[in-house]
Chain A
């Protein structure tokens, strides 16, 4: 019964989305406030419909209703509750429903929160959002309905892949999808701005909160995914330049560029065409990602079950939505006002350079992802584009960008004093170069690239902090004044500062981890030793463990450094009978920002030996924690910036200045 309600609510959501398009569209044509209100009501109702459908599907997963094909294929009665809940978005159908939920949710949010928007702009935005909702809901209802029933329900389900039964991965999709789809509002606002023919400072200010929300959520979603790969796949890698990862990274890069170009449009009225273009491109890349992951055109370690028909449908959706968006752009953009004048050395120029580099980085990732397809289609030869390509192209682009970042906020608008900025960053540059050289001199083995990475990370953090010091006159000696200035800084400025520092922290972690990671592997019998740098690991015992839906072998090791016991890693090797799969549960000891990472491999019968042996692998990952903390700081910066009163929606009139 509940499943039928869910299926019905989903169709209702589709119909209401269509109603939203018609009502809001009519509201714009007739300039009618009543129709606009009705359109907004329809947006809210559509969201409620999809939310009910989503709740119904979640219910089916929680109670293990195997008469629903999707539940039977992806759940199992023995699975812990968290993973039964997470199973809701664990399959293609369920994840499309999550996508629709986020899409209608953001549609309802813009309808309810966008009180400060001009009536026409808002009506077109709500209508466009409804159009996107209609398209994706139609796809979900007709081509990938999660409520399809089985005539002959099985007694037991086929379970979710055990690798995916993990807390980080359980919450990874909701963040990722909210991020992807948060960018849909930006798309709709861009389309509306083009229809209305106004892209100005006020518009850029309206776009920013949505771009910020999408960007921050996407940052968290990607980081969760990377963290999951790091500790679940069992070899300490966290980014593989896999097509699916690239699919989530491209919208992030574009959203980053958008956040920066929107600042120029907001403060100086310049770059308006480019900002609109980026606003459309961001969600286009989100949709491209949805297509790449689901169509099976690319081989990836983690793709959904491949279905060419659905792939073609998604490609059509992508082509039609993005195509019409960019046609609108080509038609209307030339009429946009050119905006303010600026000199080659100015904050505008720095942000333009930022955008050029981010656009080039996106193009690189896109080309690297699609090139094998293109080349095969053109010449019939198949080649591979793997991590070495991205390391050689993406890294220099990002290095150039990072060198530029601390200077950006110090440059003044319109025309800046390059020499003055160089002077103010002198100290940060000195510290950065010093840190790099010190690492080169003192850390063995010598790694020039990793040392350069340290210099870059320190430069980012130091440069950003010197800008903060500058703003608060921290070196003037008047602490009361400094404190007053710091508390008086707008949240947007704090957000920017945190985001840049977070990037610096990430760069430090990524470079040090990549540069000085140590690996060791040995087959150990009980009592055997494994040497890993300064650490010695001893295998004490291996025991059997009965999990809720798996059987495991759990090893207990002792990690000793200089005769002192540091920690007791307990890695596991699990066997899930439902799917017949084996996974490894890594044991990670955190020492400061460093990780001692231990993996239990397979049991082997050594030739001629009486006792069994186990393959044990261990890694020393220095500063690995920074790789994940950095992006969290960046996202935090995004959220803080989002709470800035200037961006708060509905704040129409001048608020009193806080004392």
Chain B
């Protein structure tokens, strides 16, 4: 429905709407603006000046410090090693959970069997559980698997708790592909893997992008698992940022905190800007199972 063509509006009403929309945009942009301008100010300018003002003595020092020398926990490593930890967790976890979701979504959509709806419901419910309910046993199991505090442990956890969403994405997409295509391929002698790689995958580019973006955003932004199961050698960026901001030793360097916050936000923001359409699709299919 295109209401723009249906409703006749006076010029005043149209301007009023634009004004309200710009006001709302300012409200949404203020935190980003505050982080950005203050990350380029020397500390004295934040303490002595107006947070909304542009930097007078423009400096990159807070960025350098946040990246390379700031005190995170007990070590003055900056956020760099934690950024690398996050990358090391995100890439394999995103790829594996997407691949597994593609397979299980395909089977649940096109290789129906008795009880498949129950299995799908159980997978879906797993998307919504409060992770507090699995923290204690997860910690035990990672310990038993000798993965406590390791990057591998966090990868495993993120794969497992992403499967519900990835399965959902692929199942809903594949359910809309006519079963006749698969049946005629079977008549031609194509087997399961052949059908999957030759028929389903070529039709899957959009849903793969949705799944990759959804998983990357969720895993990059995770804090609870990172803080519960990470150690100083595997903690993700979000945990390090929180340590930086909460640290109470010495002078509080707001500009370094802001630079660190932008570094943490940047990867997912870039993905969002580059592929907003798929981000939106993930959000809607993550909520409306239609």
- Real complex partners, A and B? no
- Residues of A with Cβ closer than 8 Å to B? none
